[in-house]
Structure 1
Amino acid sequence: MKWPQGWREVSILDVCQLNPSLTRNEWPSDDALVSFVPMSAVDENRGVIAYPEERPFSEVKKGYTPFRTGDVLFAKVTPCMENGKVAIAEGLRSGIGFGSTEFHVLRPNPELLTPEYVFYFVRQPWFRLQAASAFVGTGGLQRVPPGFFKRVRLPILIIGVPLLLLFLMSGCRPCPNSSASSRCCTQPPRFGKPSSVSCRALMRSFRPSIARSSAATSLAKAC
């Protein structure tokens, strides 16, 4: 597929870490409370961690999936994956969390894209259909294997393009109940269902992708 000027299609693993570990420097004391996210805590309709829990670090540091603020949690087991259990890790106590082993964790490179971009991309219905086609296992224990993400490619903004072009690509239009300076994105391109994300919020998501960093420059050359 030919992308507009400034965009490239890259492997998602070139711009995100898959299931990264926490460093020892990020570990709190054993009695410190940290956020805990069982699968039931993620609201598949809103795509948020709706019912977080807190547990002592000593209870969860082994045997659970670690993540930190800004990571994207993606349910890998059926039927949770098909139902859209995806969320950005936000509001975590101590900045870190642990959750069900049935989550894959995607950690975006902050110099190239934001958690919101990855969240909308992997929550799209067509993406979940592709993930389901890669299931391994039998019956109710089918899961998306880590190897699936090796085949995933996504568009990323490598070099700066005019702001108007971003608005047009994002499907922005004036909100009927707002001022002319306030606009909304009702259908971001290939980001799934319509949302009420503001243009300003969407631009915050795209801005880190504009190449003014060494990481973006290197990626542009590789493409």
Structure 2
Amino acid sequence: MGSNWKTTTTLADISERIGDGLHGTPKYSDDGEYYFVNGNNLESGAIVYKDSTKRVGLEEYNKHKKELGSSTVLVSINGTIGNVALYNGEEVVLGKSACYINLKKGISKEFVKYILSGYLFQEYIQRCSTGSTIKNVSLKMMRDFAFRIPDTGIEQDKAVELLKLLDHKISLNNQTNQTLEQMAQALFKSWFVDFDPVFDNLLASVDFKLENLENRLPDELKQKAQRRLAALDSLENAAECKASLIALDHELQAQTQAAEQVSEKAAETPVKANFNANPKILAQHANTHAHFPNEFEHNEQLGWIPKGWDIKAVSETIQINPRTSLSKGAIAKFADMKSIPTSGYMVDEIIEKAFSGGVKFKRNDILLARITPCLQNGKTAWVDFLKEDEVGFGSTEFIVLRENNNISFPFIACLAKGDSFRAHCMQSMVGSSGRQRVQNACFDSYYLALPKSDVLKDMFTELTKPNFKKMTNNKLESESLTKLRDTLLPKLISGELQIPDVATDDETVD
């Protein structure tokens, strides 16, 4: 393959046009159908719309749109530099921080995407960019970037297919991690926000006949009970599930009656019922629902909560910015705000350097962005990259949330991603526009409903910790595959690595 590669070419040589977006501000429209896209909208090889992405109307779109097509590659060149995306027909207006490259016929945009995502181009723009605070890459720098490329589209496609195999596995790992995170968050919301098992037990106590609850519940709880019953009815095994919950309710009532009949001394240490012994009770109900009450009580801070549960402020429940020691000048792992994801928990681009200041953290801490727009964009991370007793550090704009007693890091991680919790943090922000920060006092006024016993909290940890462990394993595998891909890319570009032709059915193989 090496003989089919040009010695050098430039982006200008292989492009019909290289330009950037609007140098100015369009007239925004909240009802507009067209997005105003800048470099920070280019993520993971695609254009990504965020909650903060502005929109424009048809007139502004027609006035400022660029000639983009199926051969267009986009690169961020101002502020956030080096993000690469393929244009896929989105109707957008580009801002000045988005560079577009319209490639000539016969040039694979997938191959160029890999070139621009690789070390050679990324090192080039970091070295050549101007600006100390806000980095900028000029269009001339873009046009002058030199590299090697196969003469034929066939050779380009062969290289792309090899690299895409690695990217596909990385993508699968990312999707799996997203699913694992959603599963943990769904369980957290069900148990500690929506109190689904309490509603299940409440409905079971009246044999799932809502009319029997008519005089027992306020309208707010009636509506929630109706929604929960509809959710149960939608299950494939709805009948079996209901029968199991009714059988569990009967067992619990029998246990309560038995406890009332024994002496006060004996009642202090009651015999725990073995609900798994009843064949009518599903294991999931015997192991979980048996630990939830079947009634609610009203609380001044939170409204209706499970009967008998405690109300505690977040500041009482978990450690906020706990004291952690790290000597000045000590070499330690460092995470800046850029490395914190807007979705998921996995931290990217950890480096080691001498500690000179910043927030300090330990393994299994949760990092929450405290400044705009990072908090609004969802930046939250789990510290899985430190060893036990190892200390790392990072941006001063992190709030560190740490385990406390039986409140484990999966619980805190799910709490930190919750809409209500994040909204509460945002409401506490003070400071000038664009640089507002969360106030630590807000954690004194955000309350959690928690069971008095540690059984459910321990059970939640036991059920969700494997998800987080799998996330780490997937991340480590993806990091290895990324290193392999980035090692292969320059070898393919130089022609050092040759990809053999694969024989077709019509060809004879000796």
Question: With structure 2 as the length reference, what TM-score do the two structures score?
Answer: 0.29
Say if 1:7 and 1:203 are closer, same or farther in 2 by CA, change over 3 A. farther
Which aligned segments of 4 or more residues in structure 1 are displaced greater than 6 angstroms? Answer: 202-205
Q: Contact 1:47–1:84 (CA<8 Å) still a contact in 2?
A: no
User: Aligned-pair distance for 1:64?
Assistant: 0.5
Q: In 2, distance between residues paired with 1:119 and 1:4? A: 22
Match status 1:112 vs 2:406: yes
Larger Cα-atom Rg: 2
| Residue-pair matches, total | 164
| Residue of structure 2 in register with 1:133 after alignment | 427
Structure 1 SS opposite 2:304 = coil
Higher strand share: 1
Displacement after TM superposition at 1:124 (Å):
1.2
Name the amino acid aligned to 1:4. P
Higher RCO, Cα 8 Å, sep 6+ = 1
Q: After superposition, what is the alpha-carbon deviation per residue over 1:29-75, rounded to whole angstroms, capped at 9, x for unaligned? A: 945x42101001111111221222221xxx32x42000111211110
Secondary structure of the 1:74 match is strand
Corresponding position of 1:146: 440
Q: Which moved more, 1:130-139 or 1:149-158?
A: 149-158
Letter in 1 for 2:386: L
Determine which of 372, 375, 379 is the counterpart of 1:81: 375
How far apart, CA to CA, are the structure 2 residues paired with 1:38 and 1:158? 38
Q: Which amino acid aligns with 1:158?
A: K
1:42 aligns with one of 324, 340, 344:
340
What is the CA-CA distance between 1:80 and the residue it aligns to? 0.6
Partner amino acid, structure 1, of 2:333: S
Instruction: Tell me the CA shift for residue 5 of structure 1.
Output: 4.9
CA contact (8 A) 1:41 1:50 kept: yes
Shift of 1:155: 2.6
Letter in 2 for 1:101: T
Among candidates 100, 103, 124, match of residue 398 of structure 2:
103
Alpha-carbon distance between aligned partners in 1 of 2:357 and 2:455, rounded to the nearest angstrom: 45
After the TM superposition, which residues 1-223 of structure 1 pair with which residues of structure 2 at under 5 Å, given as runs?
1-5=303-307, 7-23=309-325, 27=326, 30=329, 33-55=331-353, 59-60=354-355, 62-92=356-386, 95-109=390-404, 111-159=405-453, 200-201=463-464
Say which SS state the counterpart of residue 77 (structure 1) adopts.
coil
Kindly indicate which of the two structures has a greater share of residues assigned to helix: 2
**What CA distance in whole angstroms lies between the structure 2 residues aligned with 1:9 and 1:100?**
32
Counterpart AA for 1:41: S
2:424/2:442 contact within 8 Å kept: no
Secondary structure, counterpart of 1:2 in structure 2 = strand
Match of 1:177? none
Query: Residues 203 and 98 of structure 1: is their aligned pair in 2 closer, same or farther, counting only changes over 3 Å?
Result: closer
| Amino-acid identity (%) | 27
Q: Is the 8 A contact 1:74 1:86 kept in 2?
A: yes
* Paired residue secondary structure (1:43): coil
- Give the distance between the partners of 1:21 and 1:116, measured in 2 at CA: 21
Letter in 1 for 2:315: L
Change in 2 beyond 3 A, CA 1:35/1:156 = farther
Q: Is the 8 A contact 1:34 1:96 kept in 2?
A: yes
Give a deviation string over 1:185-208, Cα, whole Å, max 9, x none: xxxxxxxxxxxxx98326999xxx
C-alpha RMSD of the superposition: 3.0
Equivalent position amino acid for 1:68 in 2: K
Per the alignment, do residues 34 and 153 of structure 1 end up closer, same or farther by CA in structure 2, a change over 3 Å counting?
A: same
* Whole-Å separation in 2 of the counterparts to 1:21 and 1:162: 29
**Contact (CA 8 Å) 1:74, 1:104: kept in 2 or not?**
yes
Contact 1:42 1:51 in 2 (8 A): no
Return the offset for 1:86.
1.1
Task: Determine if contact 1:22/1:66 at 8 Å carries over to the other structure.
Answer: yes
Query: SS in structure 2 opposite 1:159?
Result: coil
Name the SS for the 1:84 alignment partner: coil
Letter in 1 for 2:390: G
